[in-house]
Structure 1
Amino acid sequence: MEKGEAMKRSKARSEPAIEFAKAQRASSNEFASTVWQWLRNRQCCGQKFRREFPIPPYTVDFCCAELKLVIEIDGESHFTKDGLEHDRQRDAYLRRVGYQVLRIPGYAVIRDGRDVIEQIQVFVQTGMVAPSPSPPNPLSPKRGEGE
Protein backbone atom coordinates (compact mmCIF):
# COMPACT_ATOMS: atom_id res chain seq x y z
CA MET A 1 0.00 0.00 0.00
CA GLU A 2 1.28 3.48 -0.90
CA LYS A 3 1.92 5.96 1.91
CA GLY A 4 -0.75 8.36 0.58
CA GLU A 5 -3.29 5.54 0.47
CA ALA A 6 -2.99 4.94 4.21
CA MET A 7 -3.60 8.63 4.87
CA LYS A 8 -6.89 8.54 2.97
CA ARG A 9 -8.40 5.72 5.03
CA SER A 10 -11.18 6.65 7.40
CA LYS A 11 -11.15 5.57 11.02
CA ALA A 12 -13.58 2.81 10.07
CA ARG A 13 -11.00 1.35 7.70
CA SER A 14 -7.93 1.97 9.85
CA GLU A 15 -5.52 -0.90 10.44
CA PRO A 16 -6.67 -1.36 14.07
CA ALA A 17 -10.34 -1.47 12.96
CA ILE A 18 -9.54 -4.02 10.25
CA GLU A 19 -7.58 -6.19 12.68
CA PHE A 20 -10.38 -5.97 15.24
CA ALA A 21 -12.96 -7.07 12.64
CA LYS A 22 -10.73 -9.98 11.57
CA ALA A 23 -10.33 -11.11 15.17
CA GLN A 24 -14.09 -10.86 15.76
CA ARG A 25 -14.84 -12.94 12.66
CA ALA A 26 -12.30 -15.57 13.68
CA SER A 27 -13.72 -15.85 17.20
CA SER A 28 -17.42 -15.49 16.38
CA ASN A 29 -19.86 -17.77 18.10
CA GLU A 30 -22.01 -20.36 16.35
CA PHE A 31 -25.00 -18.01 16.34
CA ALA A 32 -23.23 -15.28 14.36
CA SER A 33 -21.64 -17.87 12.05
CA THR A 34 -25.05 -19.36 11.31
CA VAL A 35 -26.62 -15.96 10.56
CA TRP A 36 -23.67 -15.09 8.32
CA GLN A 37 -24.42 -18.19 6.23
CA TRP A 38 -27.98 -16.85 5.75
CA LEU A 39 -26.85 -13.33 4.81
CA ARG A 40 -23.66 -13.76 2.80
CA ASN A 41 -23.50 -13.56 -0.99
CA ARG A 42 -26.72 -11.51 -1.22
CA GLN A 43 -28.82 -14.48 -0.08
CA CYS A 44 -31.23 -12.27 1.86
CA CYS A 45 -33.44 -10.24 -0.49
CA GLY A 46 -30.49 -9.71 -2.83
CA GLN A 47 -28.89 -7.24 -0.39
CA LYS A 48 -25.17 -6.99 0.39
CA PHE A 49 -24.34 -7.51 4.05
CA ARG A 50 -20.97 -7.05 5.66
CA ARG A 51 -19.83 -8.86 8.77
CA GLU A 52 -18.18 -7.07 11.73
CA PHE A 53 -18.76 -3.72 10.08
CA PRO A 54 -17.27 -0.64 11.75
CA ILE A 55 -19.59 2.29 12.47
CA PRO A 56 -17.23 4.22 14.76
CA PRO A 57 -17.06 4.09 17.65
CA TYR A 58 -18.78 0.70 17.34
CA THR A 59 -18.44 -2.43 15.24
CA VAL A 60 -21.76 -4.10 14.41
CA ASP A 61 -22.31 -7.81 13.77
CA PHE A 62 -23.92 -7.38 10.33
CA CYS A 63 -24.64 -4.31 8.23
CA CYS A 64 -26.36 -3.61 4.95
CA ALA A 65 -24.69 -0.24 4.35
CA GLU A 66 -26.86 0.60 1.33
CA LEU A 67 -30.09 0.37 3.34
CA LYS A 68 -28.49 1.38 6.66
CA LEU A 69 -29.66 -1.79 8.39
CA VAL A 70 -27.85 -3.39 11.32
CA ILE A 71 -28.43 -6.89 12.65
CA GLU A 72 -27.02 -7.74 16.07
CA ILE A 73 -26.90 -11.27 17.47
CA ASP A 74 -26.99 -11.07 21.27
CA GLY A 75 -25.20 -13.58 23.47
CA GLU A 76 -25.88 -13.95 27.16
CA SER A 77 -23.75 -10.95 28.19
CA HIS A 78 -26.29 -8.71 26.42
CA PHE A 79 -28.99 -9.72 28.91
CA THR A 80 -27.20 -8.44 32.01
CA LYS A 81 -28.04 -5.03 33.48
CA ASP A 82 -24.79 -3.56 32.09
CA GLY A 83 -25.22 -5.29 28.74
CA LEU A 84 -28.77 -4.01 28.32
CA GLU A 85 -27.70 -0.45 29.15
CA HIS A 86 -24.75 -0.62 26.75
CA ASP A 87 -27.01 -1.90 23.97
CA ARG A 88 -29.57 0.83 24.69
CA GLN A 89 -26.93 3.54 24.31
CA ARG A 90 -25.41 1.88 21.26
CA ASP A 91 -28.78 1.48 19.52
CA ALA A 92 -29.67 5.11 20.26
CA TYR A 93 -26.41 6.23 18.68
CA LEU A 94 -26.93 4.03 15.61
CA ARG A 95 -30.45 5.43 15.16
CA ARG A 96 -29.12 9.00 15.45
CA VAL A 97 -26.69 8.34 12.60
CA GLY A 98 -29.49 6.87 10.47
CA TYR A 99 -29.36 3.09 11.01
CA GLN A 100 -32.21 0.77 11.86
CA VAL A 101 -31.27 -2.00 14.29
CA LEU A 102 -32.64 -5.53 14.65
CA ARG A 103 -31.54 -7.45 17.75
CA ILE A 104 -31.86 -11.22 17.81
CA PRO A 105 -31.15 -13.37 20.87
CA GLY A 106 -28.43 -15.87 19.97
CA TYR A 107 -30.35 -18.85 21.35
CA ALA A 108 -33.23 -18.09 18.93
CA VAL A 109 -30.92 -18.62 15.94
CA ILE A 110 -30.52 -22.29 16.88
CA ARG A 111 -33.90 -22.90 18.52
CA ASP A 112 -36.15 -21.03 16.05
CA GLY A 113 -34.02 -20.71 12.92
CA ARG A 114 -36.87 -20.50 10.43
CA ASP A 115 -38.61 -17.79 12.46
CA VAL A 116 -35.37 -15.82 12.71
CA ILE A 117 -34.81 -16.05 8.94
CA GLU A 118 -38.35 -14.74 8.36
CA GLN A 119 -37.81 -11.94 10.91
CA ILE A 120 -34.61 -10.89 9.13
CA GLN A 121 -36.31 -11.01 5.71
CA VAL A 122 -39.18 -8.80 6.92
CA PHE A 123 -36.67 -6.37 8.44
CA VAL A 124 -34.75 -6.16 5.16
CA GLN A 125 -37.87 -5.93 2.99
CA THR A 126 -39.18 -3.11 5.18
CA GLY A 127 -35.85 -1.34 4.82
CA MET A 128 -36.04 -1.73 1.04
CA VAL A 129 -39.51 -0.16 0.92
CA ALA A 130 -38.99 2.51 3.56
CA PRO A 131 -35.26 3.17 3.88
CA SER A 132 -33.88 4.96 6.91
CA PRO A 133 -35.01 8.55 7.06
CA SER A 134 -32.56 11.10 5.75
CA PRO A 135 -32.49 14.75 6.68
CA PRO A 136 -35.45 16.68 5.23
CA ASN A 137 -35.08 18.26 1.80
CA PRO A 138 -35.15 22.03 1.52
CA LEU A 139 -38.63 23.43 1.15
CA SER A 140 -39.82 23.52 -2.42
CA PRO A 141 -42.19 26.14 -3.78
CA LYS A 142 -45.88 25.41 -3.30
CA ARG A 143 -47.76 24.00 -6.27
CA GLY A 144 -49.13 26.67 -8.43
CA GLU A 145 -46.54 29.27 -7.48
CA GLY A 146 -44.49 30.41 -10.41
CA GLU A 147 -46.41 28.29 -12.93
Structure 2
Amino acid sequence: MKIKYNPKLKELARQLRNNATKSEIRLWQKLKRGQMYSYDFHRQKPIDNYIVDFFCNKLQLVIELDGYSHQIIEVWEKDVLKTKKLNELDIRVMRFSDHQIMNDMSNVLRAIESYILQFEETGVLPLIKDYGV
Protein backbone atom coordinates (compact mmCIF):
# COMPACT_ATOMS: atom_id res chain seq x y z
CA MET A 1 0.00 0.00 0.00
CA LYS A 2 1.30 3.43 -0.94
CA ILE A 3 1.49 5.68 2.11
CA LYS A 4 0.86 9.38 1.42
CA TYR A 5 2.57 12.02 3.49
CA ASN A 6 3.14 15.73 3.70
CA PRO A 7 6.48 16.32 1.88
CA LYS A 8 7.19 19.23 4.22
CA LEU A 9 7.79 16.63 6.96
CA LYS A 10 10.64 14.87 5.16
CA GLU A 11 13.43 17.08 6.52
CA LEU A 12 11.99 17.05 10.06
CA ALA A 13 11.85 13.24 9.93
CA ARG A 14 15.53 13.18 8.92
CA GLN A 15 16.39 15.47 11.85
CA LEU A 16 14.44 13.24 14.26
CA ARG A 17 16.32 10.16 12.99
CA ASN A 18 19.61 11.96 13.62
CA ASN A 19 18.54 12.99 17.14
CA ALA A 20 16.88 9.82 18.40
CA THR A 21 16.08 9.28 22.07
CA LYS A 22 17.76 6.50 24.04
CA SER A 23 14.58 4.43 23.98
CA GLU A 24 14.21 4.89 20.19
CA ILE A 25 17.80 3.77 19.66
CA ARG A 26 17.29 0.77 21.94
CA LEU A 27 14.13 -0.43 20.17
CA TRP A 28 15.61 0.29 16.73
CA GLN A 29 18.44 -2.12 17.56
CA LYS A 30 15.77 -4.86 17.78
CA LEU A 31 13.71 -3.85 14.72
CA LYS A 32 16.22 -2.84 12.06
CA ARG A 33 17.36 -5.02 9.16
CA GLY A 34 14.42 -7.43 9.40
CA GLN A 35 15.35 -8.77 12.83
CA MET A 36 11.69 -9.02 13.80
CA TYR A 37 10.48 -11.98 11.72
CA SER A 38 12.10 -10.45 8.61
CA TYR A 39 9.67 -7.51 8.58
CA ASP A 40 11.02 -4.20 7.29
CA PHE A 41 10.55 -1.38 9.80
CA HIS A 42 11.36 2.27 9.14
CA ARG A 43 11.97 4.90 11.79
CA GLN A 44 10.68 8.46 11.90
CA LYS A 45 8.39 7.79 8.96
CA PRO A 46 6.12 10.55 7.64
CA ILE A 47 2.52 9.35 7.25
CA ASP A 48 -0.25 11.78 6.33
CA ASN A 49 0.50 14.91 8.42
CA TYR A 50 2.37 13.01 11.13
CA ILE A 51 5.77 11.50 11.76
CA VAL A 52 5.62 8.12 13.49
CA ASP A 53 8.47 6.59 15.47
CA PHE A 54 8.48 3.21 13.70
CA PHE A 55 6.44 1.84 10.80
CA CYS A 56 6.12 -1.47 8.98
CA ASN A 57 4.13 -1.14 5.76
CA LYS A 58 3.47 -4.86 5.30
CA LEU A 59 2.02 -5.13 8.81
CA GLN A 60 0.36 -1.69 8.63
CA LEU A 61 1.82 -1.22 12.11
CA VAL A 62 3.07 1.94 13.81
CA ILE A 63 5.02 1.73 17.05
CA GLU A 64 5.10 4.92 19.08
CA LEU A 65 7.34 5.54 22.08
CA ASP A 66 5.98 7.91 24.68
CA GLY A 67 8.31 9.79 26.99
CA TYR A 68 7.53 11.96 29.98
CA SER A 69 6.05 14.76 27.84
CA HIS A 70 3.26 12.44 26.69
CA GLN A 71 1.79 12.60 30.20
CA ILE A 72 0.94 16.27 29.64
CA ILE A 73 -2.74 16.50 28.72
CA GLU A 74 -2.19 18.54 25.54
CA VAL A 75 0.40 16.09 24.22
CA TRP A 76 -1.80 13.13 25.20
CA GLU A 77 -4.74 14.69 23.33
CA LYS A 78 -2.56 15.07 20.20
CA ASP A 79 -1.53 11.40 20.54
CA VAL A 80 -5.20 10.39 20.66
CA LEU A 81 -5.96 12.37 17.48
CA LYS A 82 -2.88 10.94 15.75
CA THR A 83 -3.89 7.38 16.63
CA LYS A 84 -7.45 8.01 15.48
CA LYS A 85 -6.27 9.35 12.10
CA LEU A 86 -3.87 6.46 11.59
CA ASN A 87 -6.63 3.99 12.46
CA GLU A 88 -8.82 5.68 9.83
CA LEU A 89 -6.04 4.90 7.34
CA ASP A 90 -6.29 1.25 8.49
CA ILE A 91 -2.96 1.48 10.30
CA ARG A 92 -2.64 -0.05 13.77
CA VAL A 93 -0.76 1.79 16.51
CA MET A 94 1.11 0.24 19.43
CA ARG A 95 2.30 2.61 22.15
CA PHE A 96 5.00 1.92 24.69
CA SER A 97 6.48 4.21 27.31
CA ASP A 98 10.18 4.99 27.43
CA HIS A 99 10.15 3.26 30.81
CA GLN A 100 8.87 0.03 29.23
CA ILE A 101 11.56 0.17 26.53
CA MET A 102 14.36 0.79 29.00
CA ASN A 103 13.19 -1.59 31.75
CA ASP A 104 10.99 -4.27 30.17
CA MET A 105 12.20 -4.78 26.59
CA SER A 106 11.40 -8.50 26.62
CA ASN A 107 7.68 -7.83 27.14
CA VAL A 108 7.69 -5.04 24.54
CA LEU A 109 9.19 -7.45 22.01
CA ARG A 110 6.67 -10.14 23.00
CA ALA A 111 3.80 -7.71 22.36
CA ILE A 112 5.15 -6.87 18.88
CA GLU A 113 5.79 -10.55 18.21
CA SER A 114 2.23 -11.39 19.25
CA TYR A 115 0.87 -8.87 16.74
CA ILE A 116 3.04 -10.35 13.98
CA LEU A 117 2.05 -13.94 14.76
CA GLN A 118 -1.66 -13.04 14.83
CA PHE A 119 -1.26 -11.28 11.48
CA GLU A 120 0.58 -14.23 9.95
CA GLU A 121 -1.95 -16.73 11.30
CA THR A 122 -5.08 -14.88 10.18
CA GLY A 123 -3.94 -12.53 7.41
CA VAL A 124 -6.01 -9.85 9.16
CA LEU A 125 -4.65 -6.80 10.96
CA PRO A 126 -5.03 -7.60 14.68
CA LEU A 127 -6.66 -5.21 17.07
CA ILE A 128 -4.22 -3.50 19.41
CA LYS A 129 -4.51 -4.04 23.13
CA ASP A 130 -3.52 -1.41 25.67
CA TYR A 131 0.07 -2.21 26.63
CA GLY A 132 0.08 -0.10 29.75
CA VAL A 133 1.30 3.31 28.61
Interval containing the TM-score (normalised by the shorter chain)? 0.7 to 0.9
- In structure 2, list runs of 5 or more residues that go unmatched: 127-133
Report the equivalent of 1:89: 81
Q: Report the TM-score, using the length of structure 1 for normalisation.
A: 0.76
What does 1:65-144 align with in structure 2 at a 5 Å threshold?
A: 65-128=57-120, 129-132=122-125
Cα gap change, 1:131 to 1:64, in 2 (>3 Å): farther
The runs of at least 4 aligned residues of structure 1 exceeding 4 Å deviation read none
Residues 62-110 of structure 1: per-residue CA shift (max 9 Å, x gap)? 0001121000011111111112111111101100011011000011111
Q: CA deviation at 1:11?
A: 6.4
Residues 111-133 of structure 1: per-residue CA shift (max 9 Å, x gap)? 11111111121122223334339
Q: Within 2, Cα distance between the matches of 1:40 and 1:131?
A: 23
Aligned: 1:55 with 2:64: no
Q: Within 2, Cα distance between the matches of 1:90 and 1:103?
A: 12
State the structure with more CA Rg. 1
> Between the two proteins, what is the percent identity of the paired residues?
28
- What is the aligned length? 123
Q: Report the TM-score, using the length of structure 2 for normalisation.
A: 0.84
Cα gap change, 1:94 to 1:111, in 2 (>3 Å): same
Amino acid at match of 1:22: R
- In structure 1, list runs of 5 or more residues that go unmatched: 1-9, 134-147
Q: Within 2, Cα distance between the matches of 1:127 and 1:76?
A: 31
Amino acid at match of 1:55: I
Report the equivalent of 1:28: 20
